[in-house]
Structure 1
Amino acid sequence: MNRGDTDTDQAGFYPPPPKDGDGEDHRALPVKTRISANRGVWQRKRLLAVIVIVLGLLLIAGKFFAFANKVAHLQIPKDPRADAIVVLTGGTERVQQAIHLLGEGHAGRLLISGVHPGTTPKQIAYMTKTDMPLLSCCVDLDRVALNTEGNALETARWMAGNGFSSLILVTSAYHLPRAQTELASVMPGIRMIPYPVYSSELDLKAWYRSPATTRLLIREYSKYTLAGLRVALVRAGKALGL
């Protein structure tokens, strides 16, 4: 075998240079061309990421505006009737409204959920301008719950212990969607009548004019979204037997 034959065999042994879909040899491209091509790919990926982020923010903003509009226009039921009334603490106006409903006979018993351990029935009577006999006969105080999830758990225990099957849920209008989500998750068979309380200090219909009200609604919407996600995950886990 001569030298020329050896060179030919070695050249035939190595695979041909890699080519892309159009059959061109990338190794033949100038360095600047390859850098420009890589930069173009990176820019397209960055543009796609920006588009996804913008669309996500628009979706979140749209859902927030829908939430703000919903809580600003919740209807107060005209003549609600149920076995019990449950009010979630967080403002004197909530408790006053719940006691007013109790006094008018809309239900036979009231649970005030989330009462501070140091608060006495006499203090509640004084703050809400309520007669002590009504508090003594028909009002129970839950001092265990520390948040809305706890309110739901304690309410479920109280409802089951008293054999109640329906309730009027009293809380602030902006808090009502989250409260309903939490209570419905632990009491799926209970008939619930939402009763929104509108504070004289909050203008929910013009929330965008007040930075404080805007921040309040953003926080509440975030909590409401997280509560809904947690409840959905718990349900999915139960469905899968986890």
Structure 2
Amino acid sequence: MKFLTLVGIVGLIWLVGLFAFADRVRNLTPAVEPAQADGIVALTGPSTERINAAVRLLEQDKGERVLISGVNREVRRQELNALTPGSSRLFNCCVDLGFEAEDTGGNAQEIAAWAASKNYTSLIVVTSDYHMPRSLLEIRGAAPDLTLTPYAVSTPSLDNSRWWRAAVTARRMTLEYMKYLAVLGRETLRRVIGEDETVPAPSPEEAPAS
């Protein structure tokens, strides 16, 4: 009986946490433009909207350079540029491509290495709203001294307050919540046992000088 009670309590805490996480995600999309930072980073995803948002911020002088982290190795700069509205000159001059990251943890390592190579201390982080909490955790774990400003790209299907009624949105939110909890647990354990430095990822491809 005690075991079932414990399971019920844990399940209730998990469920409350899920809805709190979903509320946080739904309120992440920025209402105002972010303050200026040293650099801007975009984590690649299922569409080019994250990249487009990062380049728009660059055009507004919100950072000196952009890093697009997690670019497919088969994608070429010209192909990515063609999919991104705005100035080709600005893209060729001030956008760096990172090809090493294969997951969010890899993104964090790539971003940390890029920021260190540029002596940047503040970054605007661009990714989807549901992906932002975990991304910030990963980047802070890889580079705890960086000041991070989230700039979330909205996912329209998750804007509905009854996201849990649709199987697709319920699955996406629940899966991301579980991944977030896993990273949160890992980072908490790391702080407790005093694990600190991580191995830096290879530096991303530098944009050619214009």
Number of aligned positions between the proteins:
194
In terms of mean alpha carbon deviation, does 125-134 or 136-145 score higher? 125-134
Give SS of 1:129's match.
coil
Does 1:85 find its partner at 2:40? yes
| Per-residue deviation, residues 106-164 of structure 1 (Å, max 9, x unmatched) | 11100000000011111112222243211110000000001111111111110000111
Give aligned-pair identity as a percent: 36
Which structure ranks higher in relative contact order (CA pairs < 8 Å, sequence separation ≥ 6)?
2
| Contact preservation (8 Å) 1:204, 1:213 | no
Q: Which runs of 5+ in 2 are unaligned?
A: 197-210
CA RMSD of aligned residues (A): 1.6
| Per-residue deviation, residues 75-115 of structure 1 (Å, max 9, x unmatched) | 51434210100010013111110111011111110000000
Which residues in structure 2 correspond to 1:165-204 (within 5 Å)?
165-204=121-160
| Contact preservation (8 Å) 1:170, 1:194 | yes
Q: Report the equivalent of 2:76.
A: 120
Are the structure 2 counterparts of residues 197 and 204 from structure 1 closer, same or farther at C-alpha, using a change threshold of 3 Å?
farther
Q: Report the equivalent of 1:37.
A: none
Which residues in structure 2 correspond to 1:28-177 (within 5 Å)?
47-76=1-30, 77-90=32-45, 91-177=47-133
Tell me by how many angstroms 1:238 deviates.
1.7
| Contact preservation (8 Å) 2:157, 2:163 | no
Does 1:217 find its partner at 2:173? yes
Tell me by how many angstroms 1:201 deviates.
4.8
Q: Residue type of the partner of 1:78?
A: E
| Contact preservation (8 Å) 2:109, 2:142 | yes
Q: Residue type of the partner of 1:83?
A: D
TM-score by length of 1: 0.76
Q: Residue type of the partner of 2:15?
A: A
User: What is the distance in 1 between the residues matched to 2:29 and 2:76?
Assistant: 32
| Contact preservation (8 Å) 1:114, 1:151 | yes
User: What is the distance in 2 between the residues matched to 1:153 and 1:204?
Assistant: 33
Tell me by how many angstroms 1:172 deviates.
0.5
Bigger Rg, structure 1 or 2:
1
Tell me by how many angstroms 1:239 deviates.
6.4
Q: Which runs of 5+ in 1 are unaligned?
A: 1-46
TM-score by length of 2: 0.87
Greater helix percent: which structure? 1
